[in-house]
Amino acid sequence: MELIKRIHAKVEQDKHITFDNYMDICLYYPDQGYYNNDQISLNPKNSDFVTAPEISSLYSESILHFYIKCKKNKNIENIIEFGAGSGEMAFNILKNINNNMLPKKYYILEKSYYLKKQQQIKINKLPKIKRSIVKWIDKIENIENVFLIANEVLDAIPSKIFKKQDDALFEKVITLKNNKLYFSKIPCNDFLSTKIKNIENRLGAPFSNNYSSEINITYDNWLSHIFKNISNFIFVIIDYGYSESEFYHQERNKGTIQYYKDHKKLISPLNSPGTFDISVSVDFSRINRIVQANNLKLIAYTTQSEFLIHNNILDNSTKIADTIEKQNILKTLLFPSDMGENFKMMIFCDNMNSEFQVTFKDYRHKL
Ligand SMILES: C[S@@+](CC[C@H](N)C(=O)[O-])C[C@H]1O[C@@H](n2cnc3c(N)ncnc32)[C@H](O)[C@@H]1O
């Protein structure tokens, strides 16, 4: 059965489905979700959007550079990569790492069955000593001494959408009328209302009427579960996003959600579900509150360009002989109007040698 028909059937049965539920079905439904079907490609030659690891190996080599710095200050033995996409970052980290710096295990936790298959094919091209340490896992159980990385994963974790109307708070849902999907709204339940009112309180002003945005209520459980199962770790989250006051700025009154197909933004996500990407920017202040609630230490919140420049990307780029190619890569990864400032890096850990200093510009005060 086509995915749209399945959604129709579900909406008919439940009267409506909430937007986060719809996003989850569109992206991950077995064999038919956008990320979870045999046509999914993150290779820029035939993808719908481009992620930093796919632009150039230089990006993953800077992550490797930072991993080695961390290893010198902390007993790091393993790597866990979440949502590894085509496997490009894992492949390039392992290809470029010296054998004496190899982790004991490079774990990959991937939600998509089909991307996992692609990762396995790519990793199999590495020499045996490197490919043999890669292990795919479905959940994390007691892993210690670990460097964790989530590159553009949190933006793909389904979010709710809310709207203020007539001074009341509503949640966006999808309904069915005359055999067609429509957006509709239901009053927010107490849990969601409280979360949204807490944002208003922190911002010091209520949202205006017709203000709409997203809120991710699953980050908390997702991260807390991970924290319970790891020890002695350093975690790097990279994604497009903002601090809370930027994310919920009055002028950003239609939220941050984006639907992408063929490198173009789509306006309506209700036609052809499963054939386009859906993503929501990350509210990094929310991540920081979860970090603090779990008694972890936030080491840095900075921009992608700051992180890459302080992790050797410019020196490393001299190996690219083609000047135009090099300039294009560096522009895309570093320019503020491109990925350089739209993408942020958040780094936190449970404990760290007090001599460990990050050298990049720090924006923790914004959170
Ligand atoms: C936008 S892609 C990024 C892929 C890759 N990290 C990159 O930067 O090219 C999002 C990835 O996260 C995966 N993903 C989403 N939610 C996940 C979860 N809860 N656990 C593990 N992987 C997840 C998707 O299947 C996909 O591989």
Q: At 134, which CATH number?
A: 3.40.50.12710
- Inside any domain, residue 284: no
Tell how far the Cα of 81 is from the centroid of ligand 1, in angstroms.
9
Write the secondary structure of 143-205 as one string of H (helix), E (strand) and C (coil).
EEEEEEEEECCHHHCCCEEEEEECCEEEEEEEEEECCEEEEEEEECCHHHHHHHHHHHHHHCC
Where a domain ends, among 214, 236, 258? Answer: 214
- The answer to whether residues 249 and 203 belong to one domain is no
- The Cα–Cα gap between 274 and 291 comes to 33
Position 274 in a domain: no
> Do 318 and 301 share a structural domain?
yes
20 and 125 share one domain:
no
* Per-residue confidence (pLDDT) for residue 359, from 0 to 100: 85
pTM above 0.85, yes or no: yes
Choose one of 197, 214, 231: the last residue of a domain: 214
* pLDDT at position 114: 98
**Do residues 176 and 226 both lie within one domain?**
no
Unique residue bearing structure tokens 């404990």: 351
Is 34 among the domain residues?
no
In this structure, the residues whose C-beta lies within 6 A of any atom of ligand 1 are 35, 42, 51, 53-54, 82-85, 109-112, 115, 151-153, 156-157
Domain that includes residue 342, residue range: 44-157+216-266+289-366
* Gap from CA of 129 to ligand 1 centroid (Å): 26
Name which of 50, 147, 32, 33 is nearest 97 in CA terms: 147
What are the tokens at 247? 């994310």
Q: What is the pLDDT along the chain (367 residues), one digit of tens a residue?
A: 899 999 999 999 999 999 999 999 999 999 999 999 999 999 999 999 999 999 999 999 999 999 999 999 899 999 999 999 999 999 999 999 999 999 999 999 999 999 999 999 999 999 999 999 999 999 999 999 999 999 999 999 999 999 999 999 999 999 999 999 999 999 999 999 999 999 999 999 999 999 999 999 999 999 999 999 999 999 999 999 999 999 999 999 999 999 999 999 998 899 999 999 999 999 999 999 999 999 999 999 999 999 999 999 999 999 999 999 999 999 999 999 999 999 999 999 998 766 777 888 999 999 9
**Residue 156 CA, ligand 1 centroid: distance in Å:** 7
By most ligand atoms within 8 Å of CB, the mutation choice from 57, 63, 138, 153 for ligand 1 is 153
Has residue 38 been placed in a domain? no
Distance CA 50, CA 63 (A): 18
On whether residue 280 sits in a domain, the answer given is no
Residue type, 319: K
Residue 315 lies in a domain: yes
SS3 state at 12:
helix
User: Do 24 and 48 sit in the same domain of this protein?
Assistant: no
321 shares its domain with 178: no
* Residue position matching structure tokens 């420049």: 309
User: Which residue minimizes the CA distance to atom 22 of ligand 1?
Assistant: 83
Assess whether 53 and 144 both reside in one domain: yes
CA 318 from centre of chain: 29
Is residue 228 domain-resident?
yes
220 with 210, same domain: the answer is no
Residues 88 and 168 both lie in one domain: no
Give domain status of residue 14, yes or no: yes
Do 172 and 308 sit in the same domain of this protein? no
Compute the distance from residue 109 Cα to the ligand 1 centre, in Å. Answer: 9
Torsion of CA 304, 309, 310, 314, to 10 degrees: 150
Contact 287, 367 (CB under 8 A): no
Domain's final residue, options 189, 214, 239: 214
- Let me know whether 97 and 130 are in one domain: yes
Q: How many domains does the chain have?
A: 2
Q: Do residues 145 and 167 share a domain? A: no
